[in-house]
């Protein structure tokens, strides 16, 4: 009987959320966490990472029990974000077709959407009960945060070279296929290690990674050693293959060379220098001795905007250098074997303006366009990881490039 109730719960909650959404708000949907299966977080409806629960928990991850919350405190200085006199048009055009921005926000389950031009806020919208003071889970946007912190450690000489072998810093992986993997390979997600990240396949390796994150039943390095004991798929540095375990191994190296937890390093080297308006945090199981560096960062949307502006400026914000220009340019340069991914940033090597992005599997996006001086921050709770429900109609295309193009034109020409 209890199992039947658990299966019915999502249906009842969906009804409540649908009624709440008539007024533009999201119902507060809380869970019995004992009924949540960590090995099926991305698959089962009864999960705080699936709708309708995600509308609440994607901005309240600090309320999930049995976690260690590592706070990242702000300094007393806040970099101001002024309101721009520019305006954003209610429609945008992609490949000759015009779309309504409101339709994109609705069909994309967007909860927070900010647009900045020249460091000033042009547009800011919150939906599904969210607000500017909520701290949103990064998912893989956090990989780009880890990349910046790794760059800081490189700048400080704590890591000698990106061409160092991973095993120089993680000798416990020496007798695995990681012995042939360089730090650069891990940054580019081109390790060749046999690991798969199929979110809707319950047998996929990513679910073992998430179970360790949530339950703390296995060390990340132990898991990586098991993956590395398999026959490698290919020679390192020859093909991009998206693997969250790569980012986690970079995190292990970062914590080892800095001698401190990821959050403490982020506080001193990033958050206080960034002029954030609020504290951030990283979560992981309270049984896990390691820190999550691949998906677990949480911050306010405007602070994510400050981070994206720093990236747009290739390492500086408001006159403060956080990471070297060289690191940011190397991070956003495509390797020879793949034009879509740099050092934990998504790229479009064919784009004329060099825009790049940090992306999460439920629609989380930091869009950074240095040429047009535009940043877009989006936090969503899409119904499925990296996609939509197959029965749903295709949503409007992403508006980011169109928004940047629009804001680059004189405002008078948009009337």
Model pLDDT for residues 189-217, shown as the tens digit of each residue: 999 999 999 999 999 999 999 999 999 99
Q: What is the mean pLDDT of residues 222-245?
A: 98
Tell me what the mean pLDDT of segment 139-161 comes to. Answer: 98
Using alpha carbons, select from 332, 280, 340 the residue that is nearest to residue 306.
Answer: 280
pLDDT at 17: 43
Q: What is the pLDDT of residue 145?
A: 98
My answer on whether omega of the bond before 52 falls inside 30° of 0, hence cis, is yes
User: To the nearest whole percent, how much of the chain has pLDDT over 90?
Assistant: 86
Average pLDDT of the chain to the nearest whole number? 92
**How much is the pLDDT for 377?**
98
Average pLDDT (382-398) is 84
Tell which residue, 72, 405, 90, 122, has the closest CA to residue 270. 72
114 contacts 301 by C-beta, under 8 angstroms: yes
Is residue 277 helix, strand or coil? coil
What is residue 20's predicted lDDT score, i.e. its pLDDT?
A: 44
pLDDT on residue 413: 52
> 220: which 2 tokens?
């990340």
pLDDT tens digits along 284-333: 999 999 999 999 999 999 999 999 999 999 999 999 999 999 999 999 99
Biggest distance spanned by C-alpha atoms of the chain: 64
Q: What number is the average pLDDT over the span 133-150?
A: 98
Higher pLDDT, 28 or 4: 28
* Closest by Cα among 305, 329, 298, 304 to 315: 329
Structure tokens at 157: 């000489």
pLDDT of residue 414: 54
Q: Match domain 2-414 to its CATH number in 3.40.309.10, 3.30.1360.200, 2.30.30.40, 3.40.710.10.
A: 3.40.710.10
- Top pLDDT among 121 and 21 is at 121
Q: Give helix 220-228 / helix 244-258 axis angle, nearest 10°.
A: 130
Closest by alpha carbon to 228, among 169, 175, 170?
175
pLDDT value at 276 more than 60: yes
Going from N- to C-terminal start, the domains of the chain cover 2-414
Confidence of residue 352 (pLDDT cuts 50, 70, 90): confident
CA separation for the pair 180, 235 (Å, rounded): 8
């Amino acid at each position: 009987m209890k199992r039947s109730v658990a299966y019915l719960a999502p249906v009842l909650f969906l009804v409540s959320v649908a009624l709440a959404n008539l007024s533009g708000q999201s119902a507060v949907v809380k869970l019995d966490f004992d009924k949540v299966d960590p090995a099926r977080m991305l698959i089962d409806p009864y999960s705080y990472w699936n709708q309708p629960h995600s509308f609440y928990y994607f901005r309240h991850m600090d309320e999930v029990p049995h976690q260690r919350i590592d706070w990242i405190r702000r300094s007393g200085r806040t970099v101001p974000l002024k309101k721009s006199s520019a305006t954003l048009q209610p429609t945008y055009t992609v490949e000759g077709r015009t779309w309504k921005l409101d339709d994109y926000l609705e069909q994309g389950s967007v909860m927070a959407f900010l647009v900045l031009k020249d460091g000033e806020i042009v547009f800011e919208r919150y939906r599904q009960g969210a607000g500017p003071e909520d701290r949103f889970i990064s998912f893989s946007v956090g990989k780009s945060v880890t990349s910046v912190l790794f760059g800081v450690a490189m700048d400080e000489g704590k890591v000698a070279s990106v061409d160092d072998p991973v095993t120089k810093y993680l000798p416990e992986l020496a007798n695995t296929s990681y012995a042939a993997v360089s730090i650069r390979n891990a940054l580019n997600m081109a390790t060749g290690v046999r690991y798969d990240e199929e979110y809707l396949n319950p047998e996929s390796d990513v679910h073992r990674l998430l179970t360790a994150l949530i339950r703390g039943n296995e060390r990340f390095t132990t898991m990586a050693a098991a993956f590395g004991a398999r026959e490698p798929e290919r020679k390192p540095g020859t093909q991009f293959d998206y693997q969250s375990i790569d980012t986690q191994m970079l995190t292990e190296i970062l914590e080892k060379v800095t001698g401190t937890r990821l959050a403490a390093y982020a506080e001193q080297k990033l958050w206080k220098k960034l002029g954030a308006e609020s504290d951030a945090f990283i979560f992981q199981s309270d049984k896990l001795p390691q820190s999550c560096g691949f998906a677990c960062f949480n911050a306010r949307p405007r602070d994510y905007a400050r981070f994206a502006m720093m990236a747009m400026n290739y390492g500086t914000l408001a006159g403060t250098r956080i990471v070297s220009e060289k690191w940011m340019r190397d991070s956003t340069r495509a390797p020879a074997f793949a034009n879509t991914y740099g050092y934990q940033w998504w790229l479009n090597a064919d784009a004329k303006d060099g825009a790049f992005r940090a992306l999460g599997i439920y629609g989380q996006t930091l869009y950074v366009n240095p040429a047009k001086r535009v940043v877009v921050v989006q936090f969503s709770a899409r119904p499925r990881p990296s996609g939509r429900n197959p029965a749903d109609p295709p949503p409007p295309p992403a508006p980011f490039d169109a928004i940047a193009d629009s804001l680059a034109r004189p405002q008078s020409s948009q009337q």
